[in-house]
Amino acid sequence: MRAALFYGPEDMRVEDVDEPSPSDGEILVDVAACGICGSDLHFYTDGLHGDTGYPTTLGHEIGGTVVETGDGVDIEVGTDVVLSPHTPCMDCWCCENAMYNLCRNLDATSARPGGYAETVVEHADNALVLPDGVSPADAAIAQPISVGLHAVRQSPVGVGDSAVVVGAGPIGLGAVRFAASAGAGPIYVSEPQASRREVAADFGADVVIDPEEEDPVERIHEETGTGADVAFEAVGHEATLDQAVSATRAGGHTTVIGVFGGEAAFEPQKLVRHQRTVAGSTSHQLGPRVAKEYNVVLRQLASGDLDANDYVTSRIDLEDVVEEGFETLLDGESEERKILVCP
């Protein structure tokens, strides 16, 4: 089968590899689509962290169809599924306290070889059967949107709270969508890309700001008189972290969702002087609870309340994953939001 092998920073090649085979408790999935995630972009430019060897195959936002099962699996061949990409160990302190997404021994991308391939093997427990009306290709967006939902649930945002979302990529758009559902308002979005600002407005943003044209912090403080109650940083950059925190009021809170590639300089007095708080939010619910947040997104896809095409700007062939996928998303002039690789 064909798969995109990652050999190191900016070195990805689509090659022939052996098709994986499911063991007990596993399923073989024909990949309909795999989204290119911000963390994948970080890996592509900076390389992998830890002891993961090269070459490897990236990709964890996967929707597809079961084509083979191992022993002990009760999912039938032909079933459309979306895959949760992380497997908790179920043995560490975090898992014992049902904080599975914080697992100390998390198998961060358990699909073999990874979603930028024609087929993958995954633990059957990580597969959610799709409701009627949801295609496996569209279901690939459930993972990043669930990350945005999880961040909103982790934050203190509530009815009538003003909120800021810095960065309107797929995860930031999820935060906009579910902050609006939680009753927040007004919601401000700072995003340099015009098409993303348009979608953010459709999803519930009251004010969209181009940070290349005006200072979003000044605008938000001017309009609110105090600063926003809650902010969400969904970029993963030093400047946007400062922007999110600075946009909040005294006593305000910032939830950081963005994936940072390294250290970020920050002035702690911005917290101390104004008694602001900052906390992180990672991934979404995993293990026995994974369906709780995924199912919110899947129900919205099934009902038509959520249209995958509002997020997805391109669907590309596996052979084009580098030039039309990674390189395009890294192009600062590109208007792409979310690209799905469809093997």
CATH number of the domain at 36, please.
3.90.180.10
**Both 166 and 259 in a single domain?**
yes
Does 149 fall in a domain?
A: no
pLDDT tens figures, 277-328: 999 999 999 988 889 999 999 999 999 999 999 889 999 999 999 999 999 9
Residues in the chain with pLDDT < 50?
A: none
User: Residue 52: its pLDDT value, please?
Assistant: 66
**Both 328 and 213 in a single domain?**
no
Final residue in a domain of this structure, among 228, 257, 280:
280
**Both 258 and 293 in a single domain?**
no
User: Residue 268: its pLDDT value, please?
Assistant: 95
**Both 140 and 17 in a single domain?**
yes
Q: How many domains does the chain divide into?
A: 2
Final residue in a domain of this structure, among 255, 280, 305:
280
Helix (H) or strand (E) holding 310: helix 308-311
Query: With contact defined as beta carbons under 8 Å apart, do 181 and 187 qualify?
Result: no
**Both 30 and 124 in a single domain?**
yes
User: Residue 50: its pLDDT value, please?
Assistant: 64
For 274, counting Cβ atoms within 10 Å of its Cβ (0-12 exposed, 13-18 middle, 19+ buried), the class is middle
Could you tell me the pTM of the whole model? Answer: 0.93
Provide the 3-class DSSP secondary structure of residue 341: strand
Provide the residue range defining the domain that includes 188. Answer: 156-280
**Both 263 and 215 in a single domain?**
yes
**Both 6 and 140 in a single domain?**
yes
**Both 124 and 176 in a single domain?**
no
Instruction: Say which CATH number the domain at 258 has.
Output: 3.40.50.720
Does 325 fall in a domain?
A: yes
**Both 6 and 138 in a single domain?**
yes
C-alpha torsion sign, points 27, 28, 29, 31: positive
User: Residue 242: its pLDDT value, please?
Assistant: 97
